[in-house]
Amino acid sequence: MTDTARTARAVQQTSRPDGAPGPEHFAEVELRLPDLTPGTALVENLWLSVDPYMRECMDGDWELDAPLEGRSIGRVVESRSPQLPVGSLVFHRDGWRTHTVLTPGQARVLPRYDGVPVESFLGVLGGTGLTAYVALTRIARLREGETVYVSAAAGGVGTAAGRLARLLGAGRVIGSAGTPEKVRALTEELGFDAAFDHRAGPSVAEQLRRIAPEGVDVCVENVGGAHLEAAIDNLREFGRIAWCGAISQYNDTTPPAAPRNLFDLVEKSGRLEGFLVANHGDAQRELEELLAPLLRDGGFTDRLSVTDGFDNAVEAFLSMLRGGNTGKAVVRLTEHPQRTR
C-alpha cells in the first residue's frame, strides 16, 4: 500500500433497522486513510470480531455512513511509532475495514504466548472470554461445587462460560441452545453436564426445572426475556444471576413481556446484577495467566466459528444474530494469517 493510494475497504451502516437487520442496512465503501505522521502506524487487519452488542449499536450508537467500531486484530505493516513496530500484532477497535491508521493509545500490542493462536484474543483471551470470566468470578462469585446454568450456551460467551465454570470448580454445568445439534455439541464436545433445546418442548422454565430439579446457584444470562424469567424461577436461595446480554430482545420493537417474576428474587434472597465487561479491564491479566498455559498445552480449547473473507463480514454478523454460530463468531480476512505468537 503506497502513500499515493492509501485506501481501505470498509463496511458502513447506511440505515436503521426496524426489527431484524439485513444486508440492505450495510454498504461497502473505499476509505481514504490518512498519511502516516510521527507516532502513527498502518495496520492490516487479520481478524474481525462480530458480536451481539453490535445489534444495539445499529439503533443509534453507530453513525450512518461512517466507519464502524469493532474488535479487531491486525499486523503493523508500516510505522512511524517506536511503540508500534513493524510486524507486531495488535488488538484495536477499528473493525469492519481491511486497514487502519492507529496511535499507540488506540492499540494494544499483544503479548507473546508461544503456541497460542492470535485469534484467541478475540475469543477466550478477548472480550468474549473476559465477559464469561468476570460473570463467574466477580459478579456471581462462583463457589466450588455449585450448579451453573448458561443461556445461549453455544454462543461465544456461553461456550467460554461453560468451560470456565468447570475449570473454576462448578459441580454441575447446564446450558440451553437453539438446535439439537448445538445441544449435542454442548454435552459431547464442550463439557456441559446437560443441555436442552429451548425451542423444543415446554417453556424454558419447565425445561430447566426438569434438567435441574434442585435448582441452580449461578446463572450466566445472555438472552433476556423468557430465559431470564426461567433463571429466576429456578434459582436456589441466595442464587446469583450475572446478566451480560439480552439477544432475544435486540430486534424487538415493543417492550418484552418477561420477566414477570422479579419479586421472586426477594423471596429467594437472590441477586440479579448486570455488568459491562469494559468496566473490568483489570481482570484481563488474571484471565491470560489462567488460560494461556492451558491453551498452549491443550488443556483448554477456543471454540471459534470462522467465516473467511472480508466480503462475507456482513453475512457473518447477520448469521451470528440468527444463531448460526457455535462458539465465538470471527471473520478471517487473509488466507494464511499469522496464527501464533
Output the domain CATH number for residue 105: 3.90.180.10
Residue 142 in any domain: the answer is: yes
The predicted-structure confidence for 218-257, as pLDDT tens digits, reads as follows 999 999 999 999 999 999 999 999 999 888 887 777 777 7
Same domain? For 132 and 264 the reply is yes
Same domain? For 115 and 133 the reply is no
Q: Give the pLDDT confidence score for residue 288 in this predicted structure.
A: 97
Residue 136 in any domain: the answer is: yes
Same domain? For 136 and 112 the reply is no
The predicted-structure confidence for 21-48, as pLDDT tens digits, reads as follows 999 999 999 999 999 999 999 999 999 9
User: For residue 241, what are the β-bridge partners?
Assistant: 219, 272
Nearby residues of 310 by Cβ (< 8 Å), 6 or more positions away: 9, 48, 98, 331, 333
Please state the rounded mean pLDDT for residues 272-297.
Answer: 96
Region at 309 (left for phi over 0; alpha for psi -120 to 50; beta for the rest): left
For residue 294, what is its C-alpha cell? 492451558
Same domain? For 217 and 315 the reply is no
Q: Can you give the CATH number for the domain in which 150 is found?
A: 3.40.50.720
Amino acid at site 223? V
| pLDDT reading at 339 higher than 50 | no
Please state the rounded mean pLDDT for residues 281-294.
Answer: 97
The answer to whether 105 touches 332, Cβ cutoff 8 Å, is no
For residue 210, what is its C-alpha cell? 426438569
Same domain? For 137 and 271 the reply is yes
Over the chain, what HEC string results? CCHHHCEEEEEEECCCCCCCCCHHHEEEEEEECCCCCCCCEEEEEEEEECCCHHHHHHHHHCCCCCECCECEEEEEEEECCCCCCCCCEEEECECCECEEEECHHHEEECCCCCCCEHHHHCCCCCHHHHHHHHHHHHHCCCCCCCEEEECCCCEHHHHHHHHHHHHCCCCEEEEEECCHHHHHHHHHCCCCCEEEECCCCCCHHHHHHHHCCCCEEEEEECCCCHHHHHHHHCEEEEEEEEECCCHHHCCCCCCCCCCCCCCHHHHCCCEEEECCHHHHHHHHHHHHHHHHHHHHHCCCCCCEEEEECHHHHHHHHHHHHCCCCCEEEEEECCCCCCCEC
Alpha carbons 29 and 186: distance in angstroms, whole number: 39
Same domain? For 273 and 158 the reply is yes
CA 166-167-173 angle, to 5 degrees, is 10
Same domain? For 73 and 179 the reply is no
Q: Give the pLDDT confidence score for residue 340 in this predicted structure.
A: 41
Same domain? For 131 and 111 the reply is no
The predicted-structure confidence for 178-201, as pLDDT tens digits, reads as follows 999 999 999 999 999 999 999 998
| pLDDT reading at 286 higher than 80 | yes
Same domain? For 174 and 315 the reply is no
pLDDT-based confidence at 335, cuts 50/70/90?
low
The predicted-structure confidence for 96-154, as pLDDT tens digits, reads as follows 999 999 999 999 999 999 999 999 999 999 999 999 999 999 999 999 999 999 999 99
Same domain? For 165 and 113 the reply is no
Residue 106 in any domain: the answer is: yes
CA 151-325-114 angle, to 5 degrees, is 100
The predicted-structure confidence for 51-89, as pLDDT tens digits, reads as follows 999 999 999 999 999 999 999 999 999 999 999 999 999
Cis status, amide bond into 21, omega within 30 of 0:
no
Residue 284 in any domain: the answer is: no
Q: How many domains does the chain have?
A: 2
Residue 291 in any domain: the answer is: no
Q: Give the pLDDT confidence score for residue 338 in this predicted structure.
A: 52
Q: Give the pLDDT confidence score for residue 341 in this predicted structure.
A: 43
Same domain? For 28 and 154 the reply is no
Residue 286 in any domain: the answer is: no
Expressed as residue numbers, the domain containing 32 is 3-119+302-332
Same domain? For 51 and 109 the reply is yes
Residue 78 in any domain: the answer is: yes
Residue 135 in any domain: the answer is: yes
